[in-house]
Chains A and B, each alone.
Chain A
């Protein structure tokens, strides 16, 4: 799922740089290529932050338009993708703020919780536990689970683990320190693990209060 391409050598130019140069020179079709390349990622990030499909659609449009308008401000020393993600994160937070009628929304929200920082559910998971669910059931479980994370953890996990940004890129994109990103990432991973355990752990006894979405039974 990661689209970040590793840079093989310091002198090797990322292909996006040439596309950006063409856009700056007036070639709109080069921007079409950049939009196609990254629109799914921007949509995912916007969904992770806003948790609202309509807002995410608006963010995709606004982020690409803003990036187009501000392309002259793009410095070649960062990747176009991480620069675009920063715009998308800011647009997403603005959308949330509008929806919450002006209340300040930041990526620092709710990160003081200690929940999940110490593993409590220590039961092992079934082998290939996701195969106990249909694709749509699994997607619903994964959505519900990540939506329950505090905003400040969710966005770090989404950028770092889902979108494949490095720790440093995630820090730069969110305006956080590297230690803050590392701390949030650990707690995000542990909280998600804890919450997914409910669905994925090896069954040891007949189900009592089982998960909301029951595993498929073999017929």
Chain B
């Protein structure tokens, strides 16, 4: 397996949607390729960081204001 072939399957590996045979091939490539191992680990970390950090927080006062405006209009029949 080449690095290009590995990268093409990177998402399937991360999302755990590979067959056992494919996984064995990918892991065999990883054993001998430090660059692909770094790419895999740092891509996983990228996703985890974006999942676990709120970058567009909705402050409670704004949330309540928007909520009240929505519900007031719904009750009026929009």
Contact = CB atoms under 8 A, between A and B. Distances in A.
Interface in B11-54: 11, 14-15, 35, 38-39, 41-43, 45-47, 49-54
Given A119-B35, A122-B39, A142 B55 contact: yes
B75 A28 contact: yes
A125 B42 contact: yes
A38 B17 CA distance: 28
Interface in A75-114: none
Contacts of A115: none
Contact of A39 (B43, B50, B53, B67): B67
Nearest to A45: B56
A212 interface: no
Interface in A175-190: 182, 185-186, 189-190
A153 interface: no
Interface residues on A, range: 35 or more
B1 interface: no
Interface residues of B, number: 36
B11 A143 contact: no
Contacts of A130: 49, 53
A192 B50 contact: yes
Contact of B38 (A123, A142, A182): A123
Contact of A138 (B43, B53, B67): B53
Given A57-B66, A60-B66, A161 B50 contact: yes
B72 to A, nearest CB: 10
Contacts of A69: 78
Interface of B: 4, 7-8, 10-11, 14-15, 35, 38-39, 41-43, 45-47, 49-56, 58, 62-63, 66-67, 69-71, 73-75, 78
Name the 4 nearest CB pairs between A and B, nearest first.
A47-B56, A193-B46, A122-B35, A119-B39
18 contacts: A1-B52, A28-B75, A32-B71, A36-B67, A43-B66, A48-B56, A61-B69, A61-B73, A118-B7, A124-B38, A125-B41, A142-B53, A161-B47, A185-B11, A186-B11, A189-B43, A189-B46, A190-B43
